[in-house]
A and B are shown apart, each in its own frame.
Chain A
Amino acid sequence: MNELPQQLVNGLLLGSMYGLVAIGYTMVYGIVQLINFAHGEIFMTGAFGALTVYAYILPDGTSMWVALPLMLVGAVLVAVTVAVGAERFAYRPLRTAPRLAPLITAIGLSLALQQAVWAWYPGAKSARTFPSIPGGPFEIGNVTIQTGDVFLVAAAPISMAILAYFVMRTRTGRGMQATAQDPDTAKLMGVNTDRIIVIAFALGAAFAAVGSVAYGLKYGQIDFRMGFILGLKAFTAAVLGGIGNIYGAMLGGLVLGVAEALSTAYIADIPGMDKFGSQSWADVWAFVLLILVLLFRPQGLLGERVADRA
């Protein structure tokens, strides 16, 4: 049986999730040149926000069709609150400090958020089950798509479309572009850069929240450490796509996901490579790909070459 179509779909689904989270990295970096290493944990708090809505606010047995939109709202609300709070209290005071300072704060914040959920969220010391969408998988040809993945299939492109419209067509979006290009000049032209930065954090968090609900539906469980590895992968996707470029983030995510799926499925079939083809090697191949791309296109797949500011 030919498994290539199925493996491509597996990879694209995984990649869409990376992409949703990568957008947050890329937007924040594009505007304030900060790598927000706590973004993975913002993603994690989003998932717990959605679970809170389902498990503690909605009555038992609420239909998923009603619950899912409300869970999304809960996820976005929590993630955005955490992200905006982080920006206000952890990053803004350090905005003019040397680059390294906010980076260290981000790592500290990431640990603090993990530990906070671990310590105070009921039952979060081990994995918590996440509700799933009822119904069996869909078969399209010989490709199987799980009901939980349908959400991801729909959410990723819709989110991208909304984001593209926002950045390209609205006033605030143009303000973001201006700030990304040169914050000081933008300020002189009357752009409220503080507000723009908050919006960038909030938008990134909202996308991460959508991704976190997709994660919960796909795997049926969430835990306080889920953001770490996924955040790292999303960061890789952002760099792969050209950090600062929002389409690049999505493309980088998809490429990374497909690379992982295909390396698991096919590397072992190459003569002499059977030792390096298992799923435990997928990350290695993903990073090999990243290094190759950066060797030949240091700015990433869709990134632009940035001249150093004098």
Chain B
Amino acid sequence: MRQRSLIAITAALAAGALTLTACGSRDSGDKGSDSGNGGGTTVVIGVDAPLTGDLSALGLGIRNSVDLAAKQANKKNYVKGVTFKIEAKDDQAQPSSGQTNATGFVGEKDVLGVVGPLNSSVAQSMQKVFDDAKLVEVSPANTSPDLTQGPDWRKSKTRQYKSYFRTATTDAIQGPFAAQYVFNKAKKTKAFVIDDKKTYGAGLAGTFTDEFKKLGGKIVGTEHINPDTKDFSAVATKVKNSGAQVVYYGGEYPQAGPLSKQIKAAGAKIPLVGGDGIYADDFIKLAGASGTGDLATSVGAPVETLDSAKEFVDNYKAAGYKEAYAAYGGYSYDSAWSIIEAVKKVVDDNGGKLPSDARAKVTAAMQSVSFDGVTGKVSFDEYGDATNKQLTVYSVTGGAWKAVESGTYNGS
């Protein structure tokens, strides 16, 4: 009797777990299947981003924008005889999942390029897998300088992987840009620097600190938080007692929102400043009313203000996606289009057909891609970095992000 019920329960649990996994995978794969039917060859553009979990707001925006790019290309019949399809995989912001996904993409021979991932730490685990297969990867969001310029980028830059490109600019620019704004424009001289110890957060906090000190500012305290917890009260108390005029946070919005809220609740009425990782609507939701006045820098100029982006915004609305295109929509769209442009060049050079070594050719063609995208001119330098180095400071005003100042960073 006992034996039988044990089996029944195990079976029930297993069945339950399987149903759930099935839900998950169906959820992440079905979006791209209907992107047109031009006939001929099908080229798959992979998407790797966090489609579930804390960062899903950003990840879904990436997926939808790539989907839109594929649909537009098919509609215009941009590459003759080629139909683009997307395939999205969920990395849950985990490096291990990212690597599994990368291996999956490499194994599917229709995949000629991948857009993603969102997190620099995830990219680190994927780069080699893609490079070995000569499969091109274009990230719309990675900002860690190591990814393109090598771990010693402060002293000597060396390109790590020839198949990795990005349309976002790097933290080597973003951190100092924020420091210059905080010191020169906002006139704050005492900063408390907090990061989450991840590749992205620590890198950003580091470049901010260097520039802020160089300008003459004082760092009155540093902290590293554990991204798994929600209780930052001890840190908030330290911030309050440090006499800081501003908090710089290197990390992402799921922690930045509660952190901002708890710092203000502890009695320190000072703004929190962060990078593109906190530039999300969910940050405002999590930070609550006291988040008004918090600042974020993000790559590029605000998509809504660019003429080149109007069409994208309109098309995105018309396509009826459930989720917003979020912080990286424009960059994801441009990333996907850079792959499409590269495929076009390869197909044109080969007399209208895909060559047998299409992946290597596409990767090579990527280096010389140049076109006017949603976010401005899209092209890549010798490290695979975007040549477009524009940034914008946003502030939380009336429950939404408002652009304060756009500019191009000049190294000092």
**Minimal Cβ-Cβ distance residue in A for B222:** A278
Given contacts A108-B13, A137-B265, A144-B267, contact A282 B234 (CB under 8 A): yes
Given contacts A7-B237, A126-B54, contact A93 B226 (CB under 8 A): no
Q: Which of A116, A118, A278 contacts B223 (CB 8 A)?
A: A278
Considering the complex, which residues of chain A in the window 124-138 have a beta carbon less than 8 Å from any beta carbon of chain B?
125-127, 129, 132, 137
Question: Is B304 in contact with chain A by the CB < 8 A criterion?
Answer: no
* Cα distance, A126 to B288, chains bound together (Å): 16
Considering the complex, which residues of chain A in the window 253-286 have a beta carbon less than 8 Å from any beta carbon of chain B?
260-261, 264-265, 278-283
Question: Is B286 in contact with chain A by the CB < 8 A criterion?
Answer: yes
Q: Which of B54, B241, B286 contacts A1 (CB 8 A)?
A: B241
Given contacts A3-B241, A278-B225, contact A219 B231 (CB under 8 A): yes
Given contacts A112-B16, A119-B20, A280-B225, contact A126 B237 (CB under 8 A): no
Given contacts A10-B237, A115-B20, A265-B237, contact A129 B285 (CB under 8 A): yes
B234-A264 in contact (CB<8A): yes
Query: Shortest CB–CB separation between residue A305 and chain B, in angstroms?
Result: 33
Question: Is B360 in contact with chain A by the CB < 8 A criterion?
Answer: no
B224-A280 in contact (CB<8A): yes
Query: Shortest CB–CB separation between residue A41 and chain B, in angstroms?
Result: 14
A3-B238 in contact (CB<8A): yes
- Taken residue by residue from 1 to 42, chain A's Cβ proximity to chain B (1 for < 8 Å, 0 otherwise) reads as 101001100110110000000000000000000000000000
Considering the complex, which residues of chain B in the window 209-245 have a beta carbon less than 8 Å from any beta carbon of chain A?
222-226, 228-235, 237-238, 240-241
Considering the complex, which residues of chain B in the window 270-295 have a beta carbon less than 8 Å from any beta carbon of chain A?
282, 285-286, 288
Question: Is A67 in contact with chain B by the CB < 8 A criterion?
Answer: no
The segment out of B1-9, B30-38, B72-80 that lies at the interface is B1-9
Query: Shortest CB–CB separation between residue A306 and chain B, in angstroms?
Result: 27
Chain B residues with CB below 8 A from A87, complex form: none
A97-B230 in contact (CB<8A): no
Query: Shortest CB–CB separation between residue A289 and chain B, in angstroms?
Result: 15
**Minimal Cβ-Cβ distance residue in A for B288:** A220
Among A11, A265, A278, chain B packs the most CB atoms within 10 A around the CB of A278
Given contacts A221-B286, A260-B234, contact A89 B9 (CB under 8 A): yes
Question: Is B145 in contact with chain A by the CB < 8 A criterion?
Answer: no
B266-A144 in contact (CB<8A): yes
Q: Which of A10, A89, A115, A125 contacts B17 (CB 8 A)?
A: A115
- Main secondary structure, interface of B, reads helix
B54-A127 in contact (CB<8A): yes
Q: Which of A13, A105, A223, A229 contacts B229 (CB 8 A)?
A: A229
B237-A14 in contact (CB<8A): no
Given contacts A105-B9, A115-B20, A221-B286, contact A264 B238 (CB under 8 A): yes
- Main secondary structure, interface of A, reads helix
Query: Shortest CB–CB separation between residue A110 and chain B, in angstroms?
Result: 11
Q: Which of B5, B231, B235, B266 contacts A93 (CB 8 A)?
A: B5
Question: Is A90 in contact with chain B by the CB < 8 A criterion?
Answer: yes
Chain B residues with CB below 8 A from A93, complex form: 2, 5-6, 9
- Taken residue by residue from 64 to 96, chain A's Cβ proximity to chain B (1 for < 8 Å, 0 otherwise) reads as 000000000000000000000000011001101
Chain B residues with CB below 8 A from A185, complex form: none
Interface residue range, chain A = 35 or more
* Cα distance, A10 to B2, chains bound together (Å): 48
B226-A280 in contact (CB<8A): yes
Chain A residues with CB below 8 A from B5, complex form: 93
Question: Is B296 in contact with chain A by the CB < 8 A criterion?
Answer: no
Q: Which of A7, A94, A126, A261 contacts B57 (CB 8 A)?
A: A126
Chain B residues with CB below 8 A from A215, complex form: 230
Chain A residues with CB below 8 A from B288, complex form: 132, 220
Question: Is B56 in contact with chain A by the CB < 8 A criterion?
Answer: yes
Question: Is A101 in contact with chain B by the CB < 8 A criterion?
Answer: yes
Among B224, B233, B240, chain A packs the most CB atoms within 10 A around the CB of B233
Chain B residues with CB below 8 A from A167, complex form: none
* Cα distance, A132 to B287, chains bound together (Å): 13
Question: Is B355 in contact with chain A by the CB < 8 A criterion?
Answer: no
* Cα distance, A90 to B2, chains bound together (Å): 12
A125-B56 in contact (CB<8A): yes
Question: CB within 8 Å of B: which residues of A?
Answer: 1, 3, 6-7, 10-11, 13-14, 89-90, 93-94, 96-97, 101, 105, 108-109, 111-112, 115-116, 118-119, 125-127, 129, 132, 137, 144, 146, 215, 218-221, 223, 226, 229, 260-261, 264-265, 278-283
What are 11 of the A-B contact pairs (CB < 8 Å)?
Answer: A3-B241, A115-B17, A125-B56, A127-B254, A146-B265, A229-B228, A278-B223, A279-B229, A280-B196, A282-B226, A282-B229
Known: A264-B234, A278-B223. 9 other contacts (CB 8 A): A108-B17, A112-B20, A115-B20, A116-B20, A132-B288, A221-B230, A223-B54, A264-B223, A282-B234
